[in-house]
Amino acid sequence: MGNIFLLGLSFSVMAATPQDLLKSYEAQSSKASPARGEQFFNAKHGKEWSCAFCHENPPNHDTKHIVTGKVIKPLAPSANPARFTDEAKAEKWFKRNCNDVLGRECTAQEKTDVLSWLMTVK
């Protein structure tokens, strides 16, 4: 009788970092502008809300969603290390929130600028 050995293969999936996402967005747009990102975050874009309306400025603490009352964890990666570590999750929330604020999806440049600014928030 032969011995049967089962090999347990372990695949490590590297989590994205905010820096990884920023590089990805910059590859689809131009260089990031944190100043432009902060301006975008605080401005209304033809709809009722701005990003800061729910996330506040600086977005480095828990807030509550104005409609649902649900707690929103800090948006700044310095205050919430889990932020922008999952590309699919980041895309889901950019899509949803940009639609609420802009009435459309954010462009790669808008994401680049906002994320670059959020990475500067302490």
Query: Is the separation of the CB atoms in 70 and 64 below 8 Å?
Result: yes
Q: How many CB atoms lie within 10 A of CB 52?
A: 18
Average pLDDT over residues 74-79: 98
CATH of domain 33-118: 1.10.760.10
Q: Please say if the pLDDT value at position 56 is more than 80.
A: yes
Domain assignments of the chain as residue spans, ordered by start: 33-118
pTM of the model: 0.85
The model's pLDDT over 79-114, given as tens digits with 9 standing for 90+, comes to 999 999 999 999 999 999 999 999 999 999 999 999
The β-bridge partners of 64 are 71
Average pLDDT over residues 54-65: 95
